[in-house]
Structure 1
Amino acid sequence: MKKRWIYAIAAAAGITLLGGCSDSATPAPAAQSGDTDMHGMDHGSSGAMPEGLKEAADPVYPVGSKVVIRSDHMAGMDGAEGTVTGAYDTTIYSVSYTPTDGGEPVSDHEWVIEEELRSQTESVPDAGDTVTIEAGHMPGMKGAEATVDTAEKGVIYMVDYTPTDGGQPVTNHMWVTESELSTE
Protein backbone atom coordinates (compact mmCIF):
# COMPACT_ATOMS: atom_id res chain seq x y z
CA MET A 1 0.00 0.00 0.00
CA LYS A 2 2.87 2.39 0.80
CA LYS A 3 4.37 1.79 -2.65
CA ARG A 4 1.09 2.66 -4.39
CA TRP A 5 0.82 5.84 -2.34
CA ILE A 6 4.40 6.85 -3.25
CA TYR A 7 3.79 6.10 -6.95
CA ALA A 8 0.58 8.17 -6.89
CA ILE A 9 2.38 11.15 -5.35
CA ALA A 10 5.28 10.84 -7.82
CA ALA A 11 2.87 10.67 -10.77
CA ALA A 12 0.91 13.70 -9.56
CA ALA A 13 4.13 15.68 -9.08
CA GLY A 14 5.32 14.74 -12.57
CA ILE A 15 2.06 15.83 -14.18
CA THR A 16 2.19 19.13 -12.28
CA LEU A 17 5.77 19.77 -13.38
CA LEU A 18 5.05 18.93 -17.01
CA GLY A 19 1.94 21.10 -17.03
CA GLY A 20 3.90 24.01 -15.61
CA CYS A 21 6.49 23.79 -18.37
CA SER A 22 4.15 23.91 -21.32
CA ASP A 23 1.95 26.62 -22.71
CA SER A 24 0.73 25.73 -26.17
CA ALA A 25 -0.89 29.12 -26.68
CA THR A 26 2.35 31.02 -26.18
CA PRO A 27 5.41 30.26 -28.26
CA ALA A 28 8.69 29.74 -26.46
CA PRO A 29 10.56 33.00 -26.02
CA ALA A 30 14.20 33.52 -26.90
CA ALA A 31 16.81 35.74 -25.41
CA GLN A 32 18.16 37.98 -28.15
CA SER A 33 19.73 41.29 -28.86
CA GLY A 34 17.71 44.18 -27.56
CA ASP A 35 15.98 42.71 -24.54
CA THR A 36 18.16 41.45 -21.75
CA ASP A 37 15.58 38.82 -20.84
CA MET A 38 12.77 37.74 -23.14
CA HIS A 39 11.52 35.06 -20.71
CA GLY A 40 7.77 34.91 -20.83
CA MET A 41 7.42 37.21 -23.79
CA ASP A 42 3.96 36.99 -25.30
CA HIS A 43 3.36 39.40 -28.13
CA GLY A 44 0.38 37.42 -29.36
CA SER A 45 -2.96 39.12 -29.10
CA SER A 46 -6.25 37.98 -27.72
CA GLY A 47 -7.85 40.57 -29.98
CA ALA A 48 -7.66 43.46 -27.49
CA MET A 49 -6.09 46.31 -29.44
CA PRO A 50 -4.80 49.48 -27.81
CA GLU A 51 -7.33 52.31 -27.94
CA GLY A 52 -6.79 55.05 -30.50
CA LEU A 53 -4.76 52.91 -32.92
CA LYS A 54 -5.08 54.16 -36.51
CA GLU A 55 -4.78 51.92 -39.57
CA ALA A 56 -1.86 52.88 -41.79
CA ALA A 57 -2.87 54.93 -44.82
CA ASP A 58 -0.31 53.44 -47.20
CA PRO A 59 1.71 50.60 -45.62
CA VAL A 60 4.51 48.89 -47.56
CA TYR A 61 2.95 45.58 -46.47
CA PRO A 62 -0.87 45.87 -46.53
CA VAL A 63 -3.07 43.52 -44.50
CA GLY A 64 -3.00 40.11 -46.14
CA SER A 65 0.56 40.48 -47.48
CA LYS A 66 2.76 37.40 -47.32
CA VAL A 67 6.01 38.28 -45.56
CA VAL A 68 9.20 36.83 -44.13
CA ILE A 69 10.13 38.05 -40.65
CA ARG A 70 13.72 39.26 -40.27
CA SER A 71 13.72 39.65 -36.50
CA ASP A 72 14.43 37.39 -33.56
CA HIS A 73 12.10 38.78 -30.88
CA MET A 74 11.10 35.18 -30.09
CA ALA A 75 12.41 31.67 -30.77
CA GLY A 76 11.74 30.56 -34.34
CA MET A 77 10.79 34.02 -35.52
CA ASP A 78 13.78 34.96 -37.72
CA GLY A 79 13.09 33.64 -41.22
CA ALA A 80 9.50 32.63 -40.42
CA GLU A 81 6.90 33.10 -43.12
CA GLY A 82 3.80 34.98 -42.12
CA THR A 83 0.84 37.11 -43.06
CA VAL A 84 0.27 40.74 -42.10
CA THR A 85 -2.89 41.04 -39.97
CA GLY A 86 -2.59 44.73 -39.12
CA ALA A 87 -0.64 47.84 -40.17
CA TYR A 88 -0.85 50.99 -38.05
CA ASP A 89 0.55 54.54 -38.15
CA THR A 90 2.03 55.37 -34.74
CA THR A 91 5.17 56.23 -32.84
CA ILE A 92 7.30 53.13 -32.22
CA TYR A 93 9.45 52.86 -29.09
CA SER A 94 12.15 50.77 -27.54
CA VAL A 95 12.14 51.13 -23.75
CA SER A 96 14.15 50.09 -20.69
CA TYR A 97 12.35 49.22 -17.46
CA THR A 98 12.39 47.20 -14.26
CA PRO A 99 9.48 44.72 -14.18
CA THR A 100 6.82 45.23 -11.52
CA ASP A 101 7.09 41.55 -10.55
CA GLY A 102 10.68 41.88 -9.30
CA GLY A 103 12.29 40.47 -12.43
CA GLU A 104 15.65 41.58 -13.78
CA PRO A 105 15.78 45.00 -15.49
CA VAL A 106 15.05 44.90 -19.23
CA SER A 107 17.09 47.07 -21.59
CA ASP A 108 16.00 48.27 -25.00
CA HIS A 109 12.78 46.23 -25.24
CA GLU A 110 11.54 46.27 -28.85
CA TRP A 111 8.65 47.26 -29.46
CA VAL A 112 6.03 49.27 -27.64
CA ILE A 113 3.81 51.78 -29.40
CA GLU A 114 2.51 55.20 -28.38
CA GLU A 115 -0.95 53.82 -27.63
CA GLU A 116 0.60 51.40 -25.08
CA LEU A 117 2.36 54.12 -23.06
CA ARG A 118 1.17 56.65 -20.53
CA SER A 119 3.35 59.75 -20.61
CA GLN A 120 4.16 61.93 -17.60
CA THR A 121 3.44 64.96 -19.81
CA GLU A 122 0.86 65.93 -22.42
CA SER A 123 3.36 65.68 -25.28
CA VAL A 124 4.24 62.55 -27.27
CA PRO A 125 7.10 60.79 -25.43
CA ASP A 126 10.59 61.09 -26.89
CA ALA A 127 13.99 59.50 -26.17
CA GLY A 128 14.95 60.02 -22.53
CA ASP A 129 11.37 60.58 -21.31
CA THR A 130 9.86 58.59 -18.45
CA VAL A 131 6.64 56.73 -19.25
CA THR A 132 4.40 54.05 -17.76
CA ILE A 133 3.91 50.92 -19.87
CA GLU A 134 0.29 49.86 -20.32
CA ALA A 135 1.11 46.80 -22.50
CA GLY A 136 1.53 43.33 -21.04
CA HIS A 137 3.91 41.77 -23.61
CA MET A 138 6.03 40.27 -20.82
CA PRO A 139 5.49 39.42 -17.14
CA GLY A 140 5.88 42.52 -14.99
CA MET A 141 5.69 44.89 -17.95
CA LYS A 142 2.21 46.34 -17.43
CA GLY A 143 2.40 49.26 -15.03
CA ALA A 144 6.20 49.46 -15.07
CA GLU A 145 7.91 52.83 -15.22
CA ALA A 146 10.20 52.97 -18.23
CA THR A 147 12.72 55.19 -19.93
CA VAL A 148 12.28 55.70 -23.67
CA ASP A 149 15.44 54.58 -25.49
CA THR A 150 14.28 55.32 -29.04
CA ALA A 151 11.19 56.88 -30.60
CA GLU A 152 10.34 56.91 -34.28
CA LYS A 153 7.16 57.66 -36.21
CA GLY A 154 6.27 54.93 -38.69
CA VAL A 155 4.15 51.92 -39.51
CA ILE A 156 4.03 49.04 -37.02
CA TYR A 157 2.79 45.62 -38.09
CA MET A 158 0.90 42.77 -36.49
CA VAL A 159 1.56 39.35 -38.07
CA ASP A 160 0.53 35.71 -37.96
CA TYR A 161 3.44 33.32 -38.50
CA THR A 162 4.61 29.75 -38.07
CA PRO A 163 7.90 29.54 -36.13
CA THR A 164 10.87 28.01 -37.95
CA ASP A 165 11.68 25.88 -34.88
CA GLY A 166 8.47 23.84 -35.10
CA GLY A 167 6.67 25.80 -32.39
CA GLN A 168 2.94 26.45 -32.39
CA PRO A 169 1.63 29.01 -34.93
CA VAL A 170 1.50 32.54 -33.53
CA THR A 171 -1.55 34.71 -34.12
CA ASN A 172 -1.47 38.51 -34.16
CA HIS A 173 2.11 38.97 -32.97
CA MET A 174 2.56 42.51 -31.70
CA TRP A 175 4.84 44.21 -33.02
CA VAL A 176 7.16 44.11 -36.02
CA THR A 177 8.61 47.14 -37.78
CA GLU A 178 8.78 47.61 -41.53
CA SER A 179 12.55 47.01 -41.51
CA GLU A 180 11.95 43.61 -39.87
CA LEU A 181 9.84 42.36 -42.78
CA SER A 182 10.58 41.36 -46.35
CA THR A 183 8.86 39.54 -49.19
CA GLU A 184 11.63 36.96 -49.61
Structure 2
Amino acid sequence: MNRQNALAAVALASALALSACGSDTAETGEATATVTSSSSDHTGHGTDPDGPADTGHGTDAAPSDGAEHDAHQHPADGGPAPEGIAEAGDPAFPVGTDVILAADHMPGMDGAAATVSGAFDTTTYSVSYTPTDGGEPVVDHRWVVHEELENPGPAPLPDGTEVVLRAAHMPGMDGATATIDSSTQETVYMVDVHSENMTMTNHKWVTESEIRPAG
Protein backbone atom coordinates (compact mmCIF):
# COMPACT_ATOMS: atom_id res chain seq x y z
CA MET A 1 0.00 0.00 0.00
CA ASN A 2 1.43 3.38 -0.98
CA ARG A 3 1.42 6.35 1.35
CA GLN A 4 -1.66 8.01 -0.25
CA ASN A 5 -3.79 4.86 0.10
CA ALA A 6 -2.70 4.41 3.73
CA LEU A 7 -3.74 7.96 4.64
CA ALA A 8 -7.15 7.43 3.00
CA ALA A 9 -7.72 4.22 5.02
CA VAL A 10 -6.89 5.99 8.29
CA ALA A 11 -9.30 8.85 7.49
CA LEU A 12 -12.12 6.38 6.68
CA ALA A 13 -11.59 4.49 9.95
CA SER A 14 -11.69 7.72 11.94
CA ALA A 15 -14.95 8.80 10.28
CA LEU A 16 -16.60 5.44 11.05
CA ALA A 17 -15.53 5.67 14.71
CA LEU A 18 -16.96 9.18 15.09
CA SER A 19 -20.23 8.10 13.46
CA ALA A 20 -20.61 5.19 15.92
CA CYS A 21 -20.01 7.45 18.93
CA GLY A 22 -22.66 9.89 17.73
CA SER A 23 -25.19 7.05 17.38
CA ASP A 24 -24.50 5.81 20.91
CA THR A 25 -24.94 9.30 22.32
CA ALA A 26 -28.29 9.80 20.62
CA GLU A 27 -29.62 6.48 21.90
CA THR A 28 -28.42 7.22 25.42
CA GLY A 29 -30.03 10.66 25.34
CA GLU A 30 -33.37 9.15 24.28
CA ALA A 31 -33.23 6.56 27.07
CA THR A 32 -32.48 9.27 29.64
CA ALA A 33 -35.43 11.34 28.47
CA THR A 34 -37.74 8.30 28.79
CA VAL A 35 -36.64 7.59 32.36
CA THR A 36 -37.10 11.24 33.34
CA SER A 37 -40.62 11.24 31.90
CA SER A 38 -41.48 8.05 33.74
CA SER A 39 -40.18 9.48 37.01
CA SER A 40 -42.28 12.61 36.47
CA ASP A 41 -45.39 10.49 35.92
CA HIS A 42 -44.94 8.71 39.25
CA THR A 43 -44.46 11.91 41.27
CA GLY A 44 -47.03 14.00 39.43
CA HIS A 45 -50.31 15.66 40.60
CA GLY A 46 -48.38 18.38 42.40
CA THR A 47 -46.99 15.96 44.97
CA ASP A 48 -43.85 17.08 46.77
CA PRO A 49 -41.50 14.07 46.60
CA ASP A 50 -39.89 15.21 49.85
CA GLY A 51 -43.22 15.90 51.57
CA PRO A 52 -45.50 13.60 53.56
CA ALA A 53 -47.41 10.79 51.92
CA ASP A 54 -50.89 11.63 50.66
CA THR A 55 -53.40 10.04 53.03
CA GLY A 56 -56.41 11.43 51.14
CA HIS A 57 -60.13 10.74 51.48
CA GLY A 58 -60.44 12.47 54.85
CA THR A 59 -58.88 9.60 56.75
CA ASP A 60 -57.72 11.94 59.50
CA ALA A 61 -61.15 13.49 59.98
CA ALA A 62 -63.27 12.70 63.02
CA PRO A 63 -66.22 10.38 62.39
CA SER A 64 -69.34 12.29 61.41
CA ASP A 65 -72.95 11.62 62.14
CA GLY A 66 -73.58 11.30 58.41
CA ALA A 67 -70.89 8.59 58.08
CA GLU A 68 -72.26 6.82 61.10
CA HIS A 69 -75.71 6.65 59.50
CA ASP A 70 -74.23 4.85 56.51
CA ALA A 71 -73.31 1.98 58.83
CA HIS A 72 -76.20 2.06 61.34
CA GLN A 73 -79.62 2.66 59.81
CA HIS A 74 -82.68 3.90 61.60
CA PRO A 75 -85.59 1.43 61.74
CA ALA A 76 -88.43 1.90 59.28
CA ASP A 77 -90.78 2.38 62.26
CA GLY A 78 -89.32 4.45 65.09
CA GLY A 79 -92.05 3.42 67.52
CA PRO A 80 -93.92 5.58 70.03
CA ALA A 81 -92.58 8.62 71.85
CA PRO A 82 -90.79 7.86 75.14
CA GLU A 83 -92.83 7.78 78.34
CA GLY A 84 -93.11 11.06 80.24
CA ILE A 85 -92.46 13.40 77.33
CA ALA A 86 -94.85 16.37 77.16
CA GLU A 87 -96.80 17.10 74.02
CA ALA A 88 -96.28 20.62 72.69
CA GLY A 89 -99.15 22.96 73.54
CA ASP A 90 -98.98 25.17 70.45
CA PRO A 91 -96.43 23.81 67.97
CA ALA A 92 -95.61 25.68 64.77
CA PHE A 93 -96.22 22.40 62.90
CA PRO A 94 -99.15 20.48 64.45
CA VAL A 95 -99.58 16.73 64.04
CA GLY A 96 -100.68 15.94 60.49
CA THR A 97 -98.88 18.93 58.91
CA ASP A 98 -97.04 18.21 55.68
CA VAL A 99 -93.51 19.64 55.84
CA ILE A 100 -90.14 19.63 54.09
CA LEU A 101 -87.13 18.52 56.13
CA ALA A 102 -84.07 20.75 56.28
CA ALA A 103 -81.90 18.34 58.30
CA ASP A 104 -79.02 16.27 56.94
CA HIS A 105 -78.86 13.58 59.64
CA MET A 106 -78.59 10.96 56.91
CA PRO A 107 -78.21 10.85 53.11
CA GLY A 108 -81.40 11.84 51.30
CA MET A 109 -83.01 13.52 54.29
CA ASP A 110 -82.41 17.16 53.43
CA GLY A 111 -85.33 18.28 51.25
CA ALA A 112 -87.42 15.15 51.85
CA ALA A 113 -91.19 15.42 52.24
CA ALA A 114 -92.60 14.40 55.61
CA THR A 115 -95.70 14.57 57.79
CA VAL A 116 -95.55 15.51 61.46
CA SER A 117 -96.56 12.57 63.68
CA GLY A 118 -95.71 14.13 67.07
CA ALA A 119 -94.69 17.49 68.54
CA PHE A 120 -93.14 17.78 72.03
CA ASP A 121 -91.76 20.25 74.54
CA THR A 122 -88.53 18.94 76.09
CA THR A 123 -84.77 19.40 76.07
CA THR A 124 -83.13 17.87 73.01
CA TYR A 125 -79.47 16.89 72.96
CA SER A 126 -76.70 16.25 70.48
CA VAL A 127 -74.48 13.47 71.85
CA SER A 128 -71.27 11.60 71.08
CA TYR A 129 -70.98 7.95 72.04
CA THR A 130 -69.43 4.59 71.25
CA PRO A 131 -72.01 1.94 70.27
CA THR A 132 -72.30 -1.11 72.51
CA ASP A 133 -72.10 -3.44 69.50
CA GLY A 134 -68.49 -2.53 68.70
CA GLY A 135 -69.27 0.02 66.01
CA GLU A 136 -67.19 3.11 65.31
CA PRO A 137 -67.58 6.09 67.68
CA VAL A 138 -70.43 8.42 66.73
CA VAL A 139 -69.82 12.17 66.92
CA ASP A 140 -72.56 14.81 67.25
CA HIS A 141 -75.53 12.49 66.87
CA ARG A 142 -78.73 14.46 66.45
CA TRP A 143 -80.94 13.94 68.39
CA VAL A 144 -81.95 12.33 71.68
CA VAL A 145 -84.47 13.86 74.08
CA HIS A 146 -84.16 14.19 77.85
CA GLU A 147 -86.65 11.36 78.35
CA GLU A 148 -84.32 8.97 76.47
CA LEU A 149 -81.56 9.28 79.09
CA GLU A 150 -81.14 6.97 82.09
CA ASN A 151 -81.94 8.79 85.36
CA PRO A 152 -80.86 12.15 83.94
CA GLY A 153 -82.05 14.46 86.73
CA PRO A 154 -83.49 17.92 86.00
CA ALA A 155 -83.23 19.35 82.49
CA PRO A 156 -81.36 20.88 80.83
CA LEU A 157 -78.09 19.03 81.40
CA PRO A 158 -74.94 21.09 80.69
CA ASP A 159 -72.62 20.36 77.77
CA GLY A 160 -70.00 17.78 78.66
CA THR A 161 -72.28 15.79 80.97
CA GLU A 162 -71.80 12.03 80.72
CA VAL A 163 -75.08 10.13 80.35
CA VAL A 164 -76.39 6.66 79.49
CA LEU A 165 -78.65 6.44 76.46
CA ARG A 166 -81.97 4.62 76.58
CA ALA A 167 -82.87 5.28 72.96
CA ALA A 168 -82.94 2.59 70.29
CA HIS A 169 -82.73 4.74 67.18
CA MET A 170 -79.89 2.55 65.87
CA PRO A 171 -78.17 -0.72 66.80
CA GLY A 172 -75.71 -0.30 69.67
CA MET A 173 -77.28 2.91 70.95
CA ASP A 174 -79.40 1.63 73.86
CA GLY A 175 -77.19 1.39 76.95
CA ALA A 176 -74.26 3.29 75.43
CA THR A 177 -72.40 5.88 77.50
CA ALA A 178 -72.51 9.28 75.81
CA THR A 179 -71.33 12.85 76.30
CA ILE A 180 -73.64 15.78 75.68
CA ASP A 181 -72.26 18.05 72.94
CA SER A 182 -75.06 20.63 72.90
CA SER A 183 -78.74 21.08 73.68
CA THR A 184 -81.78 23.01 72.47
CA GLN A 185 -85.16 23.93 73.92
CA GLU A 186 -86.87 24.06 70.53
CA THR A 187 -90.04 22.12 69.94
CA VAL A 188 -88.97 18.70 68.72
CA TYR A 189 -90.88 16.52 66.28
CA MET A 190 -91.40 12.95 65.18
CA VAL A 191 -92.07 12.72 61.45
CA ASP A 192 -93.24 10.21 58.88
CA VAL A 193 -90.84 10.53 55.94
CA HIS A 194 -92.16 9.69 52.50
CA SER A 195 -89.74 10.50 49.72
CA GLU A 196 -88.16 8.66 46.79
CA ASN A 197 -85.08 8.00 48.93
CA MET A 198 -86.64 6.82 52.18
CA THR A 199 -89.87 5.85 53.91
CA MET A 200 -89.95 5.95 57.71
CA THR A 201 -92.66 6.19 60.36
CA ASN A 202 -92.18 8.11 63.62
CA HIS A 203 -88.60 9.10 62.81
CA LYS A 204 -86.92 10.60 65.89
CA TRP A 205 -86.05 13.48 65.94
CA VAL A 206 -86.07 16.78 64.04
CA THR A 207 -86.15 20.17 65.72
CA GLU A 208 -88.35 23.07 64.68
CA SER A 209 -85.45 24.85 62.94
CA GLU A 210 -84.94 21.72 60.79
CA ILE A 211 -88.44 21.88 59.30
CA ARG A 212 -89.86 24.05 56.52
CA PRO A 213 -93.48 24.45 55.45
CA ALA A 214 -94.45 22.36 52.43
CA GLY A 215 -95.41 24.23 49.29
TM-score by length of 2: 0.64
Q: In the TM superposition, what is the alpha-carbon distance from 1:119 to its structure 2 partner?
A: 4.5
Q: Which stretch of the first structure deviates more once superposed, 70-79 or 57-66? A: 70-79
CA contact (8 A) 2:116 2:192 kept: yes
Is 2:171 aligned against 1:139?
yes
Q: In structure 2, what is the Cα distance between the partners aligned to 1:77 and 1:163?
A: 9
Aligned match of 1:95: 127
Displacement over 6 Å in runs of 4+:
none
Q: Given the superposition, is the C-alpha separation of residues 46 and 149 from structure 1 closer, same or farther in structure 2, using an over 3 Å criterion?
A: closer
Aligned match of 1:3: none
CA contact (8 A) 2:78 2:203 kept: no
The correspondence for 1:172, drawn from 183, 202, 213, is 202
Q: In structure 1, what is the Cα distance between the partners aligned to 2:137 and 2:64?
A: 14
Q: In structure 1, what is the Cα distance between the partners aligned to 2:190 and 2:76?
A: 9
Residues 22-33 of structure 1 mapped to structure 2, 5 A cutoff? none
Percent identity reads: 50
Q: In structure 2, what is the Cα distance between the partners aligned to 1:148 and 1:34?
A: 14
Which of the pair is proportionally richer in helix?
2
Aligned match of 2:105: 73
Equivalent residue of 2:147, what SS?
helix
Q: Given the superposition, is the C-alpha separation of residues 47 and 136 from structure 1 closer, same or farther in structure 2, using an over 3 Å criterion?
A: closer
Q: Given the superposition, is the C-alpha separation of residues 49 and 66 from structure 1 closer, same or farther in structure 2, using an over 3 Å criterion?
A: same
Q: In the TM superposition, what is the alpha-carbon distance from 1:93 to its structure 2 partner?
A: 0.3
Q: In the TM superposition, what is the alpha-carbon distance from 1:42 to its structure 2 partner?
A: 1.0
Q: In the TM superposition, what is the alpha-carbon distance from 1:70 to its structure 2 partner?
A: 0.9
Number of equivalent positions: 150
Residues 1-184 of structure 1 mapped to structure 2, 5 A cutoff? 34-38=65-69, 39-42=71-74, 44-119=76-151, 122-124=153-155, 125-165=157-197, 167=198, 169-184=199-214
Gaps of 5+ in 2: 1-62
Q: In structure 1, what is the Cα distance between the partners aligned to 2:87 and 2:75?
A: 19
Structure number with the bigger relative contact order (C-alpha 8 A, sep ≥ 6) is 1
Equivalent residue of 1:118, what SS?
coil
Q: In structure 1, what is the Cα distance between the partners aligned to 2:176 and 2:106?
A: 21
Gaps of 5+ in 1: 1-31
CA contact (8 A) 1:43 1:174 kept: no
Q: In structure 1, what is the Cα distance between the partners aligned to 2:210 and 2:64?
A: 14
Q: Which amino acid aligns with 1:174?
A: K
Q: In the TM superposition, what is the alpha-carbon distance from 1:71 to its structure 2 partner?
A: 1.3
Q: In the TM superposition, what is the alpha-carbon distance from 1:117 to its structure 2 partner?
A: 0.8
Q: Based on CA coordinates, which of the two structures has the bigger radius of gyration? A: 2
Equivalent residue of 1:176, what SS?
strand
Q: In structure 1, what is the Cα distance between the partners aligned to 2:106 and 2:184?
A: 22
TM-score by length of 1: 0.74
